[in-house]
Amino acid sequence: MTEYSQQSMSREDLIAALSQDITPVRRVRPREGAVLIGFATIIVSIASIALTGWWSGLLTGEASGYFLITNGLLLVLGAASTAALVKSALPRVGPRASAPFWGAGMLAILPLGVIINLLSGRGNHAYNGLNDPFALHCTAASLGAAALVAIATVLWLRRGAPVSLERAGWLTGLAAGSLGTLAYGITCPLDTFSHVGLWHIAPVAIAAFIGRLAVPPMIRW
Amino acid sequence: MIADEPTLARLMMAAQEGDRAATNVLLSEVGLWLERYFRRRLPPHQIDDLVQDVLIAFYTKRATWDPSRAFLPWLAAIARYRWVDHLRKVYKHDGKELMEEDAVEDSEEEVVLARVSLDRLFRQLPQKQSEVIQLVKIGGLSISEAADKTGQSESLVKVNIHRGLKKLATLVEDAD
């Protein structure tokens, strides 16, 4: 954009210069953004399996319902956020998808459930969750995976022209946080309600806030 | 007479394919559309700068228009985005007021067309915020003059401008 500075030329001169330099462009297609983010998630999942090992319990039926529900919700939130995110790279005036934020609300029920369990006095699992020795490891590993997915989303947004930077920041955090946590989460053999309900959800919330703060300056145009 | 939506969309498709003549016509038409879009929402002496700024953004980001979608809402989103950015920056060094004699006489229809989208954004702000933004950022009043006129303290005027511009930035995609 600095190539054409309007300070020193009239509008007619600017239009003439822009027209003279016109070249065919390849359209920015939301589908390509979704493929890029999906591909990044697969790469991160493979890297996660390579680094921490494959947990066979996922396929043998050993995994608890909480594990399956949590990772299923992460997948749905990741898909909804990605769909909204790739569309947000194209300028538009019109209705905006609210599904990612409802999805995030649904996901928040899990830690809320753990807390209610804790307050009800019947929450041995919840106490275990709060004193979980693997809490930091799972949170950090999920955030590391999320960071790699976030790189793909930011690269995509920079190709486009997002006009609502704060929203794009939230969506980046939600998409990268949920997909990154999912990519790491499928290798984590800890499947209690308190563990997945707290430490596989916290990275999504943290990533969303980091996305809101860090992404807008990177995608401003 | 500014070209209509189907004509602009056809020109845009040709521009995306690298057609120079179509690009030249399109940029001229878009320039006229933007001039009307920003009228009354900026002091006249700033309109051409912003129109050129948007033309450059429009040109640089032309790959983001999808021919299966309407052209003007896409253009309006870019225009709103650059307008909010402009409001944030422009009065840092320039305090020229919008003078009555600068105002352009328009037919009622033109005024409505030119103002509707940006006015809708303003209407979504709390009245205290939109009032001080219009007085300071568009009318060119100083903070203290706006404070006197509205009865708000100078600090409150600054806070309301800051919060209002922040909110405007989040409303760029809102439908008319």
Q: What is the pLDDT of residue B156?
A: 86
Q: Which CA distances in Å does A200 have to A68, A143, A183, A190, B95?
A: 12, 10, 11, 10, 52
Query: And the tokens for B134?
Result: 């219009």
For A95, the closest chain B residue by CA position comes to B175
**Of A73-82, B27-36, B91-100, which range is least confident?**
B91-100
| CA gap A77, B171 in Å, rounded | 24
| CA gap A40, A151 in Å, rounded | 9
pLDDT band for position B113 (50/70/90)?
very low
Count Cα atoms within 13 angstroms, Cβ side, for A122.
Answer: 4
Q: Which residue from B12, B117, B10, B29 is spatially nearest to B65, judged by alpha carbons?
A: B12
Whether residue B173 and residue A93 make contact (CB cut-off 8 A), yes or no, is yes
pLDDT tens profile B117-137: 677 777 788 888 888 888 887
For A27, the closest chain B residue by CA position comes to B63
pLDDT higher at A23 or B2: A23
Q: What is the pLDDT of residue B90?
A: 65
Query: And the tokens for A31?
Result: 């589908």
Distance from CA of B103 to the nearest CA of A (A): 21
Do residues A169 and A101 lie in contact, with contact meaning Cβ atoms separated by under 8 Å? no
Q: Across residues B56-85, what is the average pLDDT?
A: 91
| CA gap B66, B9 in Å, rounded | 10
Do residues A78 and A149 lie in contact, with contact meaning Cβ atoms separated by under 8 Å? no
Query: Could you tell me the pTM of the whole model?
Result: 0.80
Q: What is the pLDDT of residue A9?
A: 77
Gyration radius (Cα) of chain B, Å:
17
Question: Does the pLDDT at position B138 exceed 80?
Answer: no
Chain B residues with CB-CB distance to A15 below 8 A:
24, 27-28, 31, 55
Whether residue B55 and residue A11 make contact (CB cut-off 8 A), yes or no, is yes
Task: Flag residues of chain A having pLDDT under 70.
Answer: 1-8, 95, 121-129
Burial of A31 from C-beta contacts in 10 A (0-12 / 13-18 / 19+): exposed
What's the residue count for chain A?
Answer: 221
Q: What is the pLDDT of residue A25?
A: 93
Among A77-81, B48-52, B108-112, B135-139, the range of highest mean pLDDT? A77-81
Question: Does the pLDDT at position B103 exceed 80?
Answer: no
pLDDT higher at A53 or B92: A53
Q: Which of A5, A18, A20 to substitute to test the interface with B, most B CBs within 10 Å? A: A18
Q: Which residue from B155, B154, B156, B165 is spatially nearest to B130, judged by alpha carbons?
A: B165
Do residues A88 and B172 lie in contact, with contact meaning Cβ atoms separated by under 8 Å? no
A217 touches chain B (CB under 8 A): no
Q: What is the pLDDT of residue A53?
A: 84
Tell me how crowded residue A124 is: count the other CB atoms within 10 A of its CB.
11
Q: Return all residues near B107 (Cβ < 8 A) that are at least 6 apart.
A: none
Chain B residues with CB-CB distance to A24 below 8 A:
16-18
